[in-house]
Structure 1
């Protein structure tokens, strides 16, 4: 049998390495026993290639990256043991075919060679997300060519699709492949946890472990985003890619163990492939769900949002800046500042705006700010033709800003804020996800303006917005 023959999830606490953890390993004995069992299973299936998936290598907002040197190595120098080193050969043909296939499927894949690593100022070394589980494979004599994949901050659907592409490339090249996802669960289980305590962290881990054990993959995709954020995890994206590599495969296995004595959840799971399923895979369901959702959004778009979208699409297709409609609705005929936000798969893709009117009317303001959000936001690559059907838009029309004496006059759900000091100014819109206090709102606006957080000699202004979707 070729293709993906085994998929696994392993945690990566450096303390799991005997030379580092010493006696403290006793506190995660269940994890060590399980990861040794995982290593023995991989040895038994005897793969040709191991695809590792780590959250701690070079991570990009818009791409999956793969370290691509002929010889790959890493050590535990960051944890006081640079003498503990592991080295591997790159599975070059598989890496090349994987990158080509992913890019054809509109998932940008960045191969990082030594020159690229120098340019981007990233390390060309295997990180501890790879090294910790591979240490135990090395312990049982497994040393195979690897493909060191690093997660991207893409949508979970895109990451799942990338996993499916791993599966398809493995089948096409007739290679026996093990997919080894590295990731810890919540980092907020106890009051002394590294990321602080959150009472919802335990709930996140319990749900995820249950879904992994029963392979209720669809339920993982439906987990509440706020719950995920509160967990402070680093394993959901790697395991999503691992699950994609199992799409429509018949597997045996589940969770071998789970524990969290240091405030971080460690889960070990293995899935051995028996064959293929005939039923519709989750990937097909996810694609249909996405298309249905986008169709519903398009059908409910306001005229203001349609104008923003049309301006971007027309410019991409014909390099022309559209004119406003001949007969303007009253709200478009007036003048006001406006921000246009563009999202892709729920993630910000661009946002540009004006705090006050700069054009003859609001229609022109929206047209030019939409183009700015799509092509001039320095945080993102310009929008391209391949993705325009996946983009969603929102337009915030600003009311007149008013000066306020203190932070007590702010309400981040109702008011946006402008922070000024001299010629520096930072603006933050209201009702943004994750910003639930005026203090946090002002701090972010200060950072945007380049004003020190501790600076108190500032001018505050608040404003309301009318949000169109």
Structure 2
């Protein structure tokens, strides 16, 4: 989302959810991503945007893929990430037609990431906003992110940071002067 102040209308949210569902249905039928013409959509959905698409089946994670930075129209980003979450998430086998009807689709539109300045791990922990911040952590060629919704499972700042380090392929007690962190917020529906 180019501006952190901009919010999507209920109608725009409904369109994005329908596009995500159509992209998955199209993938099940053809094995290919859905090709969209951004100009056929609301001007706000044509603007560059970054989104994560999370799939759940019977309350369990079934796939989650997204973009951290806006590099294509938001509507295209949602369609591509819905397809990828259903068929290319390496943690899961490709979605089967039998799973489609039970699928819950959640979309998180990201604000642009901003760097977090900190002088120590304790300082970084004190700057985190549980339930609000999504984080990107990068060090030594490794990178990981947690959406703000992860705070629901890891409400403790220290545990949140340790698990994010693990996700990035770093030890949970890793610390270095080259560690970089960015924060972002999401509009989730």
Common topology (TM > 0.5): yes
Give the alignment partner of residue 81 of structure 2, picking from 369, 387, 394.
Answer: 369
Q: How far did 1:370 drift?
A: 0.9
The alignment covers a number of residue pairs equal to 167
> Quick check: 1:418–1:461 contact (8 Å CA) kept in 2?
yes
Give the 4+ runs in structure 1 shifted more than 4 A: none
Corresponding residue of 1:86: none
Q: Does 1:378 align with 2:90?
A: yes
Corresponding residue of 1:134: none
Give the alignment partner of residue 327 of structure 1, picking from 21, 40, 43.
Answer: 40
By relative contact order (CA 8 Å, sep 6+), the higher-ranking structure is 2
* d(CA) in 1 for partners of 2:149, 2:186: 10
Q: Does 1:437 align with 2:150?
A: no
Q: Which runs of 5+ in 1 are unaligned?
A: 1-300
> Quick check: 1:412–1:435 contact (8 Å CA) kept in 2?
no
* d(CA) in 2 for partners of 1:438, 1:334: 34
Q: Does 1:357 align with 2:102?
A: no
Give the alignment partner of residue 424 of structure 1, picking from 142, 156, 167.
Answer: 142
> Quick check: 1:342–1:374 contact (8 Å CA) kept in 2?
yes
Q: Deviations over 1:414-465 (max 9, x none)?
A: 1101111132111000033322122222111111111111112221211101
* d(CA) in 1 for partners of 2:143, 2:97: 34
Q: SS where residue 393 of structure 1 aligns?
A: strand
> Quick check: 2:53–2:82 contact (8 Å CA) kept in 1?
yes
> Quick check: 2:34–2:80 contact (8 Å CA) kept in 1?
no
Q: SS where residue 431 of structure 1 aligns?
A: helix
Q: SS where residue 411 of structure 1 aligns?
A: coil
* d(CA) in 2 for partners of 1:426, 1:319: 28
Corresponding residue of 1:390: 102
* d(CA) in 2 for partners of 1:320, 1:467: 26
**Structure 1 vs Structure 2 CA RMSD:** 1.6
Q: SS where residue 369 of structure 1 aligns?
A: helix
Q: SS where residue 302 of structure 1 aligns?
A: helix
Where do 1:190-209 residues align within 5 Å?
Answer: none
Where do 1:223-262 residues align within 5 Å?
Answer: none
Corresponding residue of 1:464: 185
> Quick check: 1:417–1:441 contact (8 Å CA) kept in 2?
no
> Quick check: 1:419–1:427 contact (8 Å CA) kept in 2?
yes
